[in-house]
A and B are shown apart, each in its own frame.
Chain A
Amino acid sequence: KAGVTQTPRYLIKTRGQQVTLSCSPISGHRSVSWYQQTPGQGLQFLFEYFSETQRNKGNFPGRFSGRQFSNSRSEMNVSTLELGDSALYLCASPTRTGELFFGEGSRLTVL
C-alpha cells in the first residue's frame, strides 16, 4: 500500500480554536491534495499543492488554508473552528502512473 502519512489521527478542539494537520506524501512525489469528508457532504476537495505552489482550490472559506514545504510535506490549517468543521480530513498523493492514494486521515472533532 502506498505510504501517505497523516498526523495526528485524532484530535479534539473547541469552537474558536485553530488546528494544523500534517501530511507526508508518497516518498519522492511532489503533489499533495486535501479533502474533507463529512456524513452530510461526502468527500469534498479542499486544495492541491505541487512543488510548494497551490495548484487548485475548492469552494471553502478562507479559514481553511494550506502550504507545502520543500520536502513535499504539507500542512493544512483551519482557524476559528466551527462545529461544522468536525470531519475526517484526508490527504492524497498520486503515483507516477496516475493512481491517487489516500492516507488514513485526521479525525477532527470540534466541541
Chain B
Amino acid sequence: EDQVTQSPEALRLQEGESSSLNCSYTVSGLRGLFWYRQDPGKGPEFLFTLYSAGEEKEKERLKATLTKKESFLHITAPKPEDSATYLCAVQARDSSYKLIFGSGTRLLVRP
C-alpha cells in the first residue's frame, strides 16, 4: 500500500535557525513527489515536484531533495513568514493525479 510519513509533526525554530523536514514514502513505482506549503484556511500552495532519486530543487530559502525512500525539505535561515504546514505527497506511476499525502509538518518560526 502506498504510504507517506512526515516528521516531525511540529517544529519550532528561531529566526535564522536552519533545519530539515523529512518525508518517507513507499509507493509502487514513483512518478513524482510533491511538496506543498499550506497556510491556515487556505489551499495548499505548490512548491516543488521531484521525479527521480538525486534530484534537487530550490526556491528562495527552501531546497528539496529526493532519494529512493525519502525526501527532505531543507529550510535555510528561516523567517517568521515561513511559518506554515508543509505537506509531502507522492504520485504513483499508474495513478494519474491521485496523490497520497502525509500528515504534514507544522513549522513555527519565532522572531
Contacts and interface: CB of A to CB of B under 8 A. Distances in A.
Nearest to B43: A102
Contacts of B46: 2, 99-102
B72 interface: no
A105 B42 CA distance: 7
Interface in B37-66: 41-46, 49
B95 interface: yes
A100 B103 CA distance: 18
Interface string A61-85: 0000000000000000000000000
Interface residues of A, number: 29
A102 to B, nearest CB: 4
- Tell me the dominant secondary structure on chain A's binding face: strand
Interface string B86-100: 010100000111111
A99 B101 contact: no
B42 A104 contact: yes
Contacts of B103: 42
B43 A105 contact: yes
B97 to A, nearest CB: 5
B78 interface: no
B98 A58 contact: yes
